Amino acid sequence: MSMRTAWPVRMWRGRPWNPNPLMRVSDRAEVVLRVFAVVVAAAVVPIAGAVGTVSYTGAQVRIASEDAGKVQVTATTTADAKRVLDDTNYAVHQDQYQAPVQWNGNGHVGTATVQVPGPEATGSTVSLWLSATNVPTTPPARPGAAAAEGVGAGLAVLVETWCATAATVWFTGTVLDSRRHARWEREWRSINRPIGKDTL
C-alpha cells in the first residue's frame, strides 16, 4: 500500500468515533484535541486580519491627529550646547547635547531648551519641529508607521494563538503518554512473574 493511500486510511482509523474497542478513551480525546487545534489555528487567521485592520485604522486616526499642525522651522542657538548625561541602562552610551534655541514661527518668537545634534556653538542653526501651539515637539510619524502597527498587532494575535494552541497539544500529549506508559508498566508487572519463581 502506498503512502498516499495509507495516510487517509490511518486518519480514518484514528477517528474518535471509531467503534474499535482497542482504541482507548485517551486516544479519542487526543484526536479530538488535535482536530480542535487545527480548527483554531485556521480560524484565528481572519481574526488576526481583522485585529490588524482595526489597529491600522486606529493608528491612522491617532497619527493624523498627533501630526496635525506640525511645522518645521529653523532655530538659532542662543548659547553653546552642553553635554547631558545619558541615564539609560544600555552598555553603549552616545553623547547627547542640549542648547537653548530661539525661533520665529507664524510671527511669534519662541524660546526653549532642546536636544541638538552635537556640540553646537552659539549662533548655529538647527532644525526644529513645532506643534500647532508653537512649542517644540517630535517629528511627524514616518510613512508606513500605521501599517507597521497594524501588521504587528495582527501578527501578535496570530503567533500568540498558534503558540498557545501548540503548547496545549504538546502538554496534553505528554500527560496522556505518561499515563499510558504507567499503565503499560502496571499491566506488564501483573503478567510477568518475578525471577526465580517461574513454574513448569
pLDDT tens readout for residues 153-184: 999 999 999 999 999 889 888 887 777 777 77
Same domain, 89 and 101: yes
Residue corresponding to grid cell 510477568 = 192
Same domain, 118 and 150: no
Same domain, 119 and 148: no
Over residues 95-115, the pLDDT tens digits come to 788 888 888 876 778 888 888
| Domain containing residue 31 | 27-68+141-186
Same domain, 87 and 170: no
Same domain, 36 and 81: no
- Is 21 within the bounds of a domain? no
- Is 135 within the bounds of a domain? no
- Is 99 within the bounds of a domain? yes
Domain count, the chain: 2
Over residues 49-75, the pLDDT tens digits come to 999 999 999 999 998 888 888 888 888
Separation between Cα atoms, residue 192 and residue 185, nearest integer Å? 10
pTM more than 0.75: no
Cα–Cα nearest to 161, from 45, 10, 18: 45
Same domain, 92 and 126: yes
122 within 8 A of 80, measured Cβ to Cβ = yes
Same domain, 64 and 76: no
